[in-house]
Amino acid sequence: LHPQSVAGEPRTAQHRRDGDGGKHPCTCAHDTWDLHGQQRMESQGTARVDGCEAKKNRPNRHTCRNGTSHGRTRKEADRNIRHANERNVPSGTTQVHAVTVDPKPAQMSNSNEFAVQTLTTWLLNEERKGTIDNELVVVFSSIATACKQIASLVNRAGISNLTGLAGETNVQGEDQKKLDVVSNDVFCNCLRASGRTGIIASEEEDTPVAVEDTYSGNYIVVFDPLDGSSNIDAGISTGSIWGIYEPTAECRMDVNDADELVQNCIVNVCQPGSGLLGAGYCMYSSSTVLVLSIGAGVFGFTLDPQIGEFVLTHDNVKIPEEGKIYSFNEGNYASWDKGLQDYMAELKAPADGSKPYSARYIGSLVGDFHRTLLYGGIYGYPGDKKNLNGKLRLLYECAPMSFIAEQAGGKGST
């Protein structure tokens, strides 16, 4: 735009064709108005074309709405028009803005950086798809509540006098830590209160527990409330493990004899891992991570302490096809059989000269398994001369973890 008109009034970019009564308004980047609303012409290098002015011999010409061609670039014209709109236009003048339109307008994105999917919404979506029923949703939700409570207890163990031994041993012959006992109570209370479990079995209990009739449901839940509790005092990662079964036909709870009731509970609980409806674990470490499977893939959720919810962070986890980490307690190497010793030697020094495996061992099943799930490799606790069947429990640990491994594309065996 030119800074001043002849009459001293700031010029604008609007004008109308002389003699047409404003019927064909046009907006140009080079036209101006004086005080009387009369169109003024550029003094040099301009030509009038159909009521508009156009620069001669200028590249990048564009056409206004009324067919007038102008020798200004679109970028320059749009900029001048924006400036012109801020000025006063004489009364009775119609404004038509000739602006450059993007032929491919940007589309609104459906994603939202603040959108999160919590464990609750994920479970409800699975129920809607028919993968699980509402009863099982309640069971998983009650387990998640127990994990939140245990995570809080583990984080505050050092300042809440929850470290050290409880002075008792469990059915496995292990010394119970204080948090072992507390975590077991938390799990049992949450599962009873859900109203969806009929029998619960804990590694810390001598026998399975039949839930009272006032609360009882159908599902059977087996669990290790706090795996790796020997690491608690050192602040190393620990975790909870669980598996969920349906009741078997042999189970009869409508009996009055206590011994017969216990026997029915044991028969009902001791099912093969192939009968699992779902399984999972929760790791208490630098963050609290809950990993589960309902038979349709593996999904991981991280606890957000600000909102108190588990948020989906690991969608449809798959174990890498190749890994270079092994997790074994090599302190028992001398007690292993010859075949296992040779296998371990091959991992550390491959005969073909390939890169050897690296050793990583925490001493917490949940922590070692979680790393293997994400990075690949192999985890094992084989039997030795002292423990012929190893130290992992088939019901509470091996079966649920193998279920998760197979759902993630790996293998599990006993």
pLDDT value of position 56: 43
Q: Which residues of the chain have pLDDT under 70?
A: 1-112, 161-175, 212-214, 248-265
pTM of the model: 0.68
Q: How many residues does the chain have?
A: 414
DSSP per-residue codes, 138-169: HHHHHHHHHHHHHHHHHHTGGGTT--SEEEEE
Name the nearest CA neighbour of 26 among 37, 35, 17. 17
Query: Is the separation of the CB atoms in 401 and 281 below 8 Å?
Result: yes
pLDDT value of position 398: 93
Place of tokens 């991280």: 302
Contacts of 392 (CB under 8 A, 6+ apart): 365, 381, 398
The CA distances from residue 114 to 59, 138, 293, 310, in Å, are 47, 27, 26, 15
Number of Cβ atoms within 10 Å of the Cβ of 40: 16
Query: Is the separation of the CB atoms in 338 and 208 below 8 Å?
Result: no
The CA distances from residue 42 to 13, 60, 61, in Å, are 13, 19, 17
pLDDT value of position 181: 87
Number of Cβ atoms within 10 Å of the Cβ of 413: 8
Work out the angle at residue 363's Cα, subtended by the Cα atoms of residues 370 and 387, and round it to the nearest 5 degrees: 115
365-375 and 399-407 helices cross at what angle (nearest 10)? 10
Name the nearest CA neighbour of 25 among 100, 80, 92. 92
